[in-house]
Amino acid sequence: MIEAKNLTKYYGRTKAIENVSFYIEKGEIVGLLGPNAAGKTTIIRILTCFLPPTSGTAKVNGYDIYENPLEVQKSIGYLPERNPLYEEFTVCEFLNFVCEMKGIRKKEEKIKKISKVMEECGIFDVKDKLIYKLSKGYKQRVGIAQALINDPKILILDEPTIGLDPKQIIETRNLIKNLGGERTILLSSHILPEVSMVCERVIIINEGKIVATDTVEDLTSKLKGKMEIHVEIEGNPEKVKNVLSEISGVEKVNIIPPIKERINKYIVITDKEKDLRKEISAKIVNSGFGLLEIKIEEMTLEEIFLKLTTKE
Amino acid sequence: MNFISVYKKEIKSYFISPIAYVVILIFTLISGFIFYALSAYYSIISLRYSEYPYPYFTLSPNEMIVRPLFHNMAVTSLFVLPLLTMRLFSEEKRLGTIELLFTYPLRDSEIYWAKFLSCLSIFIIMTLIPSLYILILEKWVNFDKGVIFNSYLGLLLLGGSFISIGILISSLTESQVISAIITFGISLLFWIIGWVSEIVGPKYSNFFDFISLFNHYENFPKGILDTRDLIFYLSVCFFFSFLTLRVLVSKKYRG
């Protein structure tokens, strides 16, 4: 549905993105993840034909952004970054205008589409209010409603939850999740939990380059590197450490300070993708120590993100 | 077709904001005052000369009311039109709605002409009101309708030129105030640029005379329709419209 090929964009002399290529299948929900100023908005603006790239090209819904910008724009619904709206209009008037913009002209069809989208986004009760009088959460929903109005195959949302309160964020996320299915959704965010909750696949970009692209699960396991097992054991710390180090596959054993006399927490670092919990528990119990707790520490998307986007 | 939707939206914004009401009100007040002053003066003069047949017959209402009225309306337009054009692109740029507008499936030119014509429509409404005064006075005074029509055409052409300058400036800045001031400055400069034609010497005097917006306006209220003037105003309109469309495209390319 969306295909970007070697997109590069310079603003004057500053490079915004460089050689960005990716492919998004029909029906996927993909998150564009990156710190601020990584180039997310630039990529999105190129895909929506708001800005042309300096070099490279993209195809959206099979149409080239250079050759058929109008067709591209017809097949997308777009929520820009700061959610700009014509705030002096009422919700109904605004949606009516958007309907006409997107080529829906028949009166019955307009009414049908508008009421459907208002239902979907939960803005029916504010339909006659002026947009500038609405709360931020409602404005966001109006923004999503205008993107949805012509039932586009592709939905592009630029930071859809920015500036909302936690409750509104959850509502917006649920809304986006419900919109998936038939539609292809590309959303950008710098908030990780959001992407891991809503999206099936993530494209992580940093300083204008794609640093990783994968499903959320694969990304987590691939980048995990070494596995950490946290154990809490009752017994002499020196002896326990020795016993743990003897287990095959264990690379390193650390004791979490402060070291106490009897009960201590240990971090056992093992080889990649080797789950040694069984061996460790057997060994500890056989050696006569008390095993109080054992668990695997998963690396969160947050840590992966930091690992990918910070220079060491 | 989308063009009409943008046009309707622009007209709506003009009246919601309510800049259209204010501008129309002020323009009506000023032109009303001018019309009153001119016709009162005309009636005094014609009363005074009513006993002398020769000067009485040379007193033409076209000369004494229509011509100065349209001259003054042109000057007033010069002052108020920047207030109508300033928001057209500047506001959308500042609020970011331009991103919405430019990602809907419609061409830049459709957006431009919708904005241009919406502004021109407000200008037409605004300048039609003084024509009502003339209609009322027609009960007692014989006007030459051709002259009125011709003057009105001239005013529209002039207004169109001011509007095209104003939209160009509006597309260059995010600040409405700056847009209005620069538009006013440039329009005024083009209005009076003919003044230097005496100074610069014969080589350039024709040029300065030619590009002066004012010099081309003079003929219309006299009842002369010169195709040179017509073409001049149309080319000014299209030249600045062309520049604006270029600006819109190049803004995209520079980001």
Claim to verify: residue A31 and residue A180 sit in the same structural domain: yes
DSSP state of B236: H
Whole-number Å distance between alpha carbons of A77 and A94: 15
DSSP state of A193: H
Peptide bond preceding A258: is omega within 30 degrees of 0, i.e. cis? yes
Is residue A224's pLDDT more than 60? no
Q: What part of A 132-191 touches B (C-beta under 8 Å)?
A: 146
Assigned domain for A304 exists:
no
Contact flag B105-A78 (C-beta cutoff 8 Å): no
Whole-number Å distance between alpha carbons of A202 and A30: 6
Closest approach of A213 to chain B, Cα-based (Å):
27
Whole-number Å distance between alpha carbons of A145 and A116: 10
For residues A148 and A77, is the Cβ–Cβ distance under 8 A? yes
Closest approach of A102 to chain B, Cα-based (Å):
6
Claim to verify: residue A249 and residue A139 sit in the same structural domain: no
Closest CA to A29 of A1, A55, A5, A10: A1
Assigned domain for A309 exists:
no
Assigned domain for A306 exists:
no
Closest CA to A8 of A51, A63, A64, A67: A51
Residue A138: CATH number of its domain: 3.40.50.300
Q: Which long-range contacts (CB under 8 A, 24 or more apart) does A99-104 make?
A: A99/A149, A99/A150, A100/B2, A100/B4, A100/B5, A101/B2, A101/B5, A101/B6, A101/B104, A101/B105, A101/B106, A102/A74, A102/A149, A102/A150, A102/B104, A102/B105, A103/A74, A103/A150, A103/B1, A103/B2, A103/B105, A104/A149, A104/A150
Q: Closest-CA residue in chain B for A94? A: B9
Whole-number Å distance between alpha carbons of A282 and A276: 10
Q: Which residue did the predictor score with more confidence, B6 or A282? A: B6
Residue A260 has a pLDDT of: 73
CA B189 to chain centre: 15
Residue B180, judged by CB atoms within 10 A of its CB (0-12, 13-18, 19+), counts as: buried
Contact flag B97-A84 (C-beta cutoff 8 Å): yes
Compute the mean pLDDT over every residue in chain B, rounded to the nearest whole number. 89
Closest approach of B114 to chain A, Cα-based (Å):
13
Claim to verify: residue A22 and residue A161 sit in the same structural domain: yes
Q: Closest-CA residue in chain A for B110? A: A101
Claim to verify: residue A187 and residue A261 sit in the same structural domain: no
For residues B218 and B206, is the Cβ–Cβ distance under 8 A? no
Claim to verify: residue A209 and residue A68 sit in the same structural domain: yes
Assigned domain for A259 exists:
yes
Claim to verify: residue A152 and residue A37 sit in the same structural domain: yes
Helix (H, G, I), strand (E, B) or coil at B31: helix
Whole-number Å distance between alpha carbons of A18 and B67: 63
Closest approach of B5 to chain A, Cα-based (Å):
6
Claim to verify: residue A218 and residue A277 sit in the same structural domain: no
The CA–CA distances, whole Å, from B25 to A116, A237, B8, B21 equal 42, 89, 21, 6
Claim to verify: residue A113 and residue A61 sit in the same structural domain: yes
Whole-number Å distance between alpha carbons of B205 and B76: 27
Residue A122 has a pLDDT of: 83
Residues of chain A neighbouring B10 (CB-CB closer than 8 A): none
Domain final position from A169, A194, A222: A222
Q: What part of A 33-92 touches B (C-beta under 8 Å)?
A: 42, 45, 48-52, 70-71, 73-74, 76, 78, 80-82, 84-89
What is the rounded (10 degree) CA torsion for A186, A190, A196, A198? Answer: -40
Instruction: Collect all residues with Cβ–Cβ distance below 8 Å to A147 and sequence separation of at least 6.
Output: A77, A78, A79, A155, A156, A157
Contact flag B255-A9 (C-beta cutoff 8 Å): yes
Residue A312 has a pLDDT of: 44
Whole-number Å distance between alpha carbons of A86 and B95: 9
Residues of B with CB under 8 A from a CB of A: 1-2, 4-6, 8-9, 12-13, 16-17, 95-100, 102-107, 252-255
Whole-number Å distance between alpha carbons of B109 and B113: 6
Is residue B194's pLDDT more than 90? no
Q: Closest-CA residue in chain A for B3? A: A101
Assigned domain for A311 exists:
no
Domain final position from A222, A248, A270: A222
Contact flag B255-A74 (C-beta cutoff 8 Å): no
Whole-number Å distance between alpha carbons of A96 and B5: 10
Digit-coded pLDDT (tens) for A228-242 = 778 888 888 788 888
Q: How many CB atoms lie within 10 A of CB A255?
A: 17
Claim to verify: residue A210 and residue A263 sit in the same structural domain: no
Domain final position from A171, A201, A222: A222
Claim to verify: residue A154 and residue A178 sit in the same structural domain: yes
Residue B11 has a pLDDT of: 94
Contact flag B254-A11 (C-beta cutoff 8 Å): yes
Contact flag B5-A101 (C-beta cutoff 8 Å): yes
Torsion sign (Cα): A156, A162, A168, A174:
positive
Digit-coded pLDDT (tens) for A185-197 = 998 887 777 777 7
Claim to verify: residue A190 and residue A126 sit in the same structural domain: yes
B4, B99, B255 ranked by CB distance to A11: nearest: B255
Alpha helices in chain A (DSSP H): 40-47, 69-75, 91-101, 107-121, 136-148, 166-179, 192-198, 216-222, 237-246, 277-286, 301-309
Q: How many CB atoms lie within 10 A of CB A101?
A: 22
Weakest-pLDDT range from A91-100, A291-300, B30-39, B70-79: A291-300
For residues A63 and A138, is the Cβ–Cβ distance under 8 A? no
Q: Number of structural domains, chain A?
A: 2
A50, A100, A146 ranked by CB distance to B102: nearest: A50
Assigned domain for A101 exists:
yes
Digit-coded pLDDT (tens) for A140-182 = 889 989 998 888 889 999 888 877 778 878 888 888 888 877 7
Claim to verify: residue A247 and residue A201 sit in the same structural domain: no
- Bridge partners (DSSP) listed for residue A286: none
Of the pLDDT bands very low, low, confident and very high (cuts 50, 70, 90), residue B131 is confident
Q: Which residues of B99-111 are buried (b: 16+ CB within 10 A; e: fewer)?
A: bbbbbbbbeeebb
Is residue B61's pLDDT more than 50? yes
CA A105 to chain centre: 35
Residue B84 has a pLDDT of: 94
ipTM of the complex: 0.84
Residue A225 has a pLDDT of: 58
Is residue A92's pLDDT more than 80? yes
Residue B204 has a pLDDT of: 82
Assigned domain for A217 exists:
yes
Whole-number Å distance between alpha carbons of A265 and A285: 16
Strand A154-158 versus strand A76-79 pairing type:
parallel
Digit-coded pLDDT (tens) for A259-281 = 777 788 887 777 666 677 787 88
- Bridge partners (DSSP) listed for residue A254: A267
Q: Closest-CA residue in chain A for B101? A: A101
Assigned domain for A164 exists:
yes
Instruction: Collect all residues with Cβ–Cβ distance below 8 Å to B155 and sequence separation of at least 6.
Output: B70, B73, B74, B77, B127, B220
Range of the domain at A265: 227-298
Contact flag B103-A50 (C-beta cutoff 8 Å): yes
Weakest-pLDDT range from A209-218, A269-278, B127-136, B141-150: A269-278
Is residue A27's pLDDT more than 60? yes
Residue A283: CATH number of its domain: 3.30.70.1340
Backbone angles phi, psi at A14, to 5 degrees: -80, 135
Strand A63-64 versus strand A55-60 pairing type:
antiparallel
Contact flag B105-A12 (C-beta cutoff 8 Å): no
Tokens standing for residue B218: 């003079």
Domain assignments of chain B as residue spans, ordered by start: 2-254
